[in-house]
Amino acid sequence: MKKIAVIGTGLSALSLAYHLPALDITFFEKSWRPGGRISTRKHNQYAFDHGAHYLKLDHGIIGLNEYLNKIDAIKILKGQFCPNISQNSPIEDKEIIVGKEGNESIPINIHKSLHYPTYFSKQITSIETINKEYYLMAGEEKFGPFDYIFCSMPFEQSKTLLEKYIDYSDMPDIEFDAIWTIMVAFNKRLGVPFQFGYHLTPEISFLMNQNFKHEFFNEECWVINMRAEWTKEYYNIENYVLEDYVINKMKQSFQSDAGAVFKKSHRWRYSYTKKSLRDIKSKRYIESIDRRLYSFGDWCEGPSMQDAWLSGKKLAQDFTENSLKH
């Protein structure tokens, strides 16, 4: 049976493993948990989905909802949504898909259902070849040999890992927008007439109430995304300065005297793919000449959760058809 290493356990990597036939697959993950940018931060009684916020109900990926329901990973919520807060757009009902116990339950449940061995807290630093066989290096540790290696990580990181084996000279860099994300718990309701919406202020692009998603804490909790342009300008802002700034903006916007009882911020460096590999090069992944090393991820298809899932699915289909059958 072919031995396969998958570097990363984000949604693209999990999708790849799910759509491949039964193979000898081993995951390697630099973090302590699966999920990548699908993350739920928990602090005492609070929970914040501070990475990917939700999955569209009509995302267009055939069979995905059924699978996620089967593994008990999701629930469907109806919330009040405002498409443009600053322009007083009408509030509308919107159904969305979220993780059953925080959005991290989506990748966690997928990972559990796959039953593949995983090395967590393993930062792969290089790929080596010995007698035409591939090995993964994590510092002084060596893993392998592997017949195939799939790298599911941001373009810049995978390029660093694979440029010894793949010619990137005619491949333009994939650009990402960084996004500052702030998590805040207020000691009383702000009086916001919706659960989530876009374009609150020139600085704040998105905000989402966490109470209607998690339903088990008393304080009113919000996740707020800053605009990409603002994040770029204030990329190195001190966390506490940013948090206080956003808290004041929220209070001013909704004319509230609520106090913040918890605040935390996180800067997602590779948050949003500006233009996908498919858009730039009409390609859905990058491969070595011998078709044994692959690089892929949401940046191949687009910025959303469904794009990440589609990236793994498309690569699995092509690999099964073109490599495993020859």
Q: Which two tokens stand for residue 273?
A: 């793919």
What is the tally of structural domains in the chain?
Answer: 2
**In which domain, by residue range, is 203 found?**
40-106+175-273
Q: What share of the chain in percent tops pLDDT 90?
A: 88
Query: Does the CA dihedral 245-250-254-255 come out positive or negative?
Result: negative
CATH number at residue 124: 3.50.50.60
Identity at 88, one-letter amino acid code:
N
pLDDT of 326 > 70? The answer is no
For residues 31 and 116, state if they share a domain. yes
For residues 20 and 58, state if they share a domain. no
For residues 142 and 246, state if they share a domain. no
For residues 120 and 23, state if they share a domain. yes
For residues 199 and 247, state if they share a domain. yes
For residues 197 and 287, state if they share a domain. no
Q: Which two tokens stand for residue 242?
A: 């940013």
pLDDT of 252 > 60? The answer is yes
3-state secondary structure 212-253: HHHCCCCCEEEEEEECHHHHHHCCCCCHHHHHHHHHHHHHHH
For residues 254 and 182, state if they share a domain. yes
pTM: 0.94
Q: Which two tokens stand for residue 33?
A: 């948990």
Query: CA triplet 148, 153, 6: central angle to 5 degrees?
Result: 30
For residues 264 and 143, state if they share a domain. no
DSSP 28-76: E-SSSSS-TT--EEEETTEEEE-S---EETT---TTHHHHHHHTT-EEE
Per-residue pLDDT tens over the stretch 9-60: 999 999 999 999 989 999 999 999 999 999 999 888 889 999 999 999 999 8
For residues 137 and 256, state if they share a domain. no
Residue 145 preceded by cis peptide, ω within 30: yes
Per-residue pLDDT tens over the stretch 184-200: 999 999 999 999 999 99
For residues 127 and 66, state if they share a domain. no
Identity at 282, one-letter amino acid code:
S
Provide the 3-class DSSP secondary structure of residue 144. Answer: strand
For residues 21 and 48, state if they share a domain. no
For residues 168 and 122, state if they share a domain. yes
